[in-house]
Amino acid sequence: MTTRVSTAQIFTNAQNHISKAREKESISAAKAATQKEITRPSQNPAEWTVAANLKDDLNIREGIAKNAKFATSFLTATENTLAQLQELVGRTHELAVEASGSGTVSPEQFYHILPEVEGLFQNVIQAVNTEFAHRPVFGGYQSHQKPFDTEGSFSGDNGKIEVEIDRNLKIPVNLSASQIIFGEGLQRGVNVIDTYRGLLTGLKEGNIQGVRDSLEGLLGAIDQFSLGRTQVAGSMTEIQRALDSYEVNQEQSQKVISELEEADPVKVFSDLVRDQTVLRAAIETNRKVINESPIDTLLK
């Protein structure tokens, strides 16, 4: 049975063929121009959602990583302070040993040592008041003022400043003054300020026993600062691990996003060439079909 074809059908079919070929060519051209496989969710809702969630995750992690780096800087400042404190207390210990070691030392000689120890104490006070980005490293939540006055009286608190270093992972970035400076909660903890006060009193009063009593405290203070430095190093290691994990994660996520969203350039361009050829063929074929109607011949 032969199929009857109406004239309007010939034109409609020609139009449909060209229009379909044009549509495909246009999609391939858009992919080639943007190098994107998915430009709207309906092209692949599941993959689009995965890519969108990954992009959000990357964005959030980027913010967290920035803050983790800030926390690292804060911890570095704390570490420098502790190192400085160790040096100051170490020098103080040397002077105290010198003073306590000479049984015949005169009060005048104590007075010779005293100004340097007083100066070191003020340096210690200055060090424990160290600030990073307007935040004292030992002030806890009390960041509006210096936590120690010149006498060494403490007005800060033990507030733990926690910073998010990875999604759902927070660590405290400040050290507690009550632990590191006052030795609270530690076995054989030392109150550094009181130790200095005792030493200064001993030196002022020419009390050699008083000076000797401070020696153990000073050594304990050095240990306490070491403990603080260990804690800081631990936190920094943890941050570094989080940052490393962020970098790996970022790389992997970007790879997945790229696989989901980006088009394969070779495939895209070969598709484009193919679709352009199909379009040209559709136009050419339909031009022939339309033009080669025998109507003119018949009605001549």
Partner 1 sequence: MAVNDILDVGQRGLQAQRQALTTTSSNIANANTPGYSRQKTQLVNQPPHLVHGLPIGSGVEVKKVVRVHDEFVQKQLIDEKQSLGSLQVKAEMLSRFEALTTQEGSNLGDSINRFFNDFRDLATNVENPSLKNVVRGSAESLARSFHKMNQSLEMGRRELDLRVEDVVKHINTEGREIADLNNTIVQAESRGEVPNELMDRRDLLIRDLAEKIDLQVTEDQRGQKTLVAGNAVIVQGGDHFEMSVRRSAAEGEKAAGSMSVFIHSSGTPREITRSVKDGELAGLMQARDRVINPAMKHLDQIAFQVTQKVNELHAEGIGLDGIDNRKFFKDLGDDVEHASFHFDLDPDIKENHEKIATGFSSSTGDNRLAQAIADIQNEKMLPAGQLGGEVNLTVNESLNNLVSQVGINTQQETQMFDHQKAIVDQLENYRQSYAGVNLEEEAVDMIKYQTVFNASAKAMKVGEDLLDTILSLKD
Site residue total, partner 1 (CB under 8 A): 54
Based on the shown chain and the rule CB under 8 A, indicate whether residue 67 belongs to the binding site for partner 1. Answer: yes
Question: Hey, which residues between 266 and 295 contact partner 1 (CB under 8 A)?
Answer: 293-295
For residue 86, the minimal CB distance to partner 1 (Å) is 25
The conformation of residue 2, written as its DSSP 8-state character, comes to P
- Calculate the CA 294 to chain-centre distance: 77
Cβ proximity to partner 1, 40 vs 266, nearer residue:
40
Which DSSP helix (H) or strand (E) runs through 277? Answer: helix 265-291
For residue 251, the minimal CB distance to partner 1 (Å) is 20
Based on the shown chain and the rule CB under 8 A, indicate whether residue 40 belongs to the binding site for partner 1. Answer: yes
Q: How many CB atoms lie within 10 A of CB 247?
A: 12
Amino acid identity for residue 222 in this structure = I
Written as one string, the DSSP assignment of 38-77 is -SSGGG-HHHHHHHHHHHHHHHHHHHHHHHHHHHHHHHHH
For residue 13, the minimal CB distance to partner 1 (Å) is 8
Distance between CA 259 and CA 263 in Å, rounded? 8
Question: Hey, which residues between 125 and 184 contact partner 1 (CB under 8 A)?
Answer: 133-135, 139-144, 157, 159, 161-164, 167-168, 170
Distance between CA 1 and CA 153 in Å, rounded? 109
Cβ proximity to partner 1, 111 vs 141, nearer residue:
141
* Structural tokens at position 256: 């997945």
Binding site for partner 1 (CB under 8 A): 3-9, 11-13, 16, 40-43, 45-46, 48-49, 52-53, 56, 59-60, 62-64, 66-67, 70-71, 133-135, 139-144, 157, 159, 161-164, 167-168, 170, 293-295, 298-299
